[in-house]
Amino acid sequence: MRSINLAGFLFMAACGGSGGDDYAAPVPAAIDPFAAFASAYRQADALPFTPEVQLVDLGSAQYLGEMRIDLPLVSGADPEPYLGRMRMEVAFDGSADPISGTIDRFAGPAGDLAGRLNIKEGFVDISSNPRIDPRLDAEFEGALTKGSERYEVNGAFFGDIFGEDGRNIAGLVYGGTIARDAESDVFDGSFVVAHTD
End-to-end CA gap in the chain: 28
Give domain limits for the chain.
6-195
- Supply the pTM of this predicted model: 0.84
Adjacent-strand bridge partners of 66: 85, 192
Note whether 48 and 163 are within 8 A (CB).
yes
pLDDT digits (tens, 9 = 90+) for 130-170: 667 899 999 999 999 999 999 999 999 999 999 999 999 99
Question: What is the rounded distance in angstroms from the CA atom of residue 18 to the CA atom of residue 14?
Answer: 10
| pLDDT tens digits, 26-74 | 445 557 999 999 999 999 999 999 998 899 899 999 999 999 999 999 8
184 beta partners? 179
d(CA 18, CA 179): 37
Confidence class for position 127, pLDDT limits 50, 70, 90:
confident
